[in-house]
Amino acid sequence: MSGGLRWRRRHAARRGAWQDGWYRRARRVPSPNFGPRPPGLPVRLAVVHSISLPPGRYGGDAIERFFTNQLDPAGHPYFAGLAGVAVSAHFLVRRGGEVVQFVRVDDRAWHAGASVWRGVPNCNDYALGIELEGLEGQRFEAAQYRATARLLRDAASVWPVAEVVGHEHVAPGRKGDPGPGFDWRRLARLLRRSMK
């Protein structure tokens, strides 16, 4: 499953999980780093990323500060290289399974950069960005897989999201996350169960 996965969408009555593009099961931390999606281009892809700030350190508020342009570049030597960088994702899934949302699904988050999937460039235009708290190539927690599967299931009940891939798949050679530590088969099993 090195190229992500597809699943059959089912339109179960899960629309109540959303309010104006915000996920009711997520903690809201609005980011200023977003823009409008191109008209007529549906949200049909999810891109999984991994992030920890500084690398390998979990917990704390550094990721949230980074996505909201409040990260102090003097707070850690690694942060100096991030000064002035304006990025975001729609969601962050913490190690314990907590979901944090930064950008409404109907808006375009700045997560994939130069990217292409199935010949269509600019994945930010038509994708959800899901950051998993973790280190590229390392393993992720069971709670993160469960929360990600639930999030994808709930998103697919409102938007035509039917494929999930890694950043490494849409920007090969430039990005490597989430990397070999991410268990695509495990996510596929959870998605199959949750879509029944």
Annotated catalytic residue within 131, 136, 163, 168: 131
The span from the CA of 152 to the CA of 167, in Å, is 16
Q: How many CA atoms lie within 13 A of 26 on its CB side?
A: 29
Q: pLDDT band at 105, cuts 50/70/90?
A: very high
131 annotated active-site: yes
Mean pLDDT of the region 136-161: 97
CATH classification of the domain holding 14? 3.40.80.10
Per-residue model confidence as pLDDT tens digits over 120-133: 999 999 999 999 99
Whole domain around residue 140: which residue ranges? 5-194
Nearest to 79 by CA among 94, 97, 60: 60
How many domains would you assign to the chain? 1
**pLDDT tens digits, 47-72:** 999 999 999 999 999 999 999 999 99
Q: Using the 8-state DSSP alphabet, how is residue 68 labeled?
A: T
